[in-house]
Amino acid sequence: MTVVVDQPAPGAVATKAAERRAIGVATGAHALHDGYTDLIYVMLPVWQAEFGLGYAALGLLRTCFAGTMAALQIPSGLLSERLGVPLVLALGTALAGLGYLVAGASVGFVTLVIALLIGGAGASTQHPLASALVARAFAGPRSMKALGTYNFAGDIGKMTLPALASIMLVVMPWQPTLAILGGLGFVAAAAIFLLAPRFPDEPVIAPAKKDIDPGVEAAGARTRFGFPVLLSIGMLDSATRMAFLTFLPFVLLAKGASLPTVGLALTLVFAGGAAGKLVCAFIGARIGVIATVCLTEGLTTLGVLALLPLPLDWNAIVNIGNLSGVIIQYREIPLEAALVILPIIGIALNGTSSVLYGSVPELVEPARRARAFSIFYTGTIGAGAIAPAIYGLLGDAVDVPTALVVVAIMCLLTLPLALVLRPALPASAR
């Protein structure tokens, strides 16, 4: 079988057809893979009842998938440089589907561990390779908009696939449910391989040293410095997001929220976050990366602090469900007002990520973008995974409000880093 693909010349702007296929493949892959990632949350109670697992074992299952996904993103980027993005992304999608097929046939904890390790290995291909595919198809400010659309698609998958699984579990056992959803991975893998545009390798041109202009050489040095700075901003942003989401339920419970209200509040944050990923990418393309980062991170800090005007009297609350501890009781900001500002916090909290992802192509030569995206996602996902544990220790040592104040202050560290990043960006992206 012959697959007809677009073949623009190296460095040429992709055709409109190639752009449409690239964004279609990338957004579809992102939605499916992120849906697979959050599907685990739906299945954990099912597996607990089926196999009699404790909470430690359930936590290990989640870690198997997420840890493998994070650890193998850099190898996935390197492999794509040899085999091509479409093939590696298609194989990874099939592997993610295979993981859920194996999970559906599981007879115990060990099989589930193997299944989620397989699924995590497959999921490791999506973020770096789909991002690189979009960045290759779109250039300049359009690249940031396209990456924002791609970023938004992941949230759609997080909402739809777990919801679909919940509905299917009402009418059929969990094993065939996972088998059907795992089979989607193979269908998607075939579509990715057939539809993804094949772009020729970008040439890496190394001019003779005598031909290098001093200004160009200085710009190259700034660019090499710029990517680590961008990565640092991304890691701080991810750590802020995960720490805030970890502490938010406790703050709301302290304000008198019921558990269903806490669920509603998280939904409001996630809905705002999904909108922020799309909207902030377009804002970034219009006003520049640095202004957008300062805007979103500043709003995030103000939003977190708006929930926490520190009172003089601290009141202890204990034994909320399975939770116990000392948390400040906030009478100054009522629960209703907190719910109103949570979507705004969500927009700012998640919106920065689209601008940061969209800036990676501006700092890395095209031939190394898959590798750069893999490093970027590994760093940001790793920071997000570690942050709740670190801030949790701080919350135990002091209290939740004080820990959130520290989270807000750490978020502000992104502002001077953004100013340091400014010279490394092209004038059109600043």
DSSP 399-411: -HHHHHHHHHHHH
Per-residue pLDDT, 12: 47
Instruction: Please give the CATH superfamily to which domain 213-424 belongs.
Output: MFS general substrate transporter like domains (1.20.1250.20)
DSSP 316-356: -EEEETTEEE------SS-HHHHHHHHHHHHHHHHHHHHHH
229, 420 contact by CB (below 8 A): yes
Q: Which residue has the higher pLDDT, 256 or 302?
A: 302
Say if domain 16-195 classifies as CATH 1.10.1270.20.
no
pTM given for the model: 0.71
Distance CA 30, CA 40 (A): 16
Each residue's pLDDT tens digit, 15-29: 888 888 999 999 999
* Domains 16-195 and 213-424 equal at CATH topology level: yes
Each residue's pLDDT tens digit, 372-427: 888 888 888 888 878 877 888 888 888 888 888 899 999 999 999 988 888 877 76
Per-residue pLDDT, 359: 81
Per-residue pLDDT, 9: 43
Each residue's pLDDT tens digit, 310-362: 443 334 333 333 444 444 444 456 777 888 888 999 898 888 888 887 788 77
Query: Given a cut of 60, is residue 84 above it in pLDDT?
Result: yes
Average pLDDT over residues 176-186: 95
Give the domain ranges of the chain: 16-195, 213-424
Per-residue pLDDT, 220: 52
283, 292 contact by CB (below 8 A): yes
43, 165 contact by CB (below 8 A): yes
| Residue given tokens 């909320």 in the structure block | 320
Confidence at 43, pLDDT banded by 50, 70, 90? confident
Per-residue pLDDT, 89: 95
24, 195 contact by CB (below 8 A): yes
- Entry field: residues in the chain: 430
Average pLDDT over residues 238-247: 85
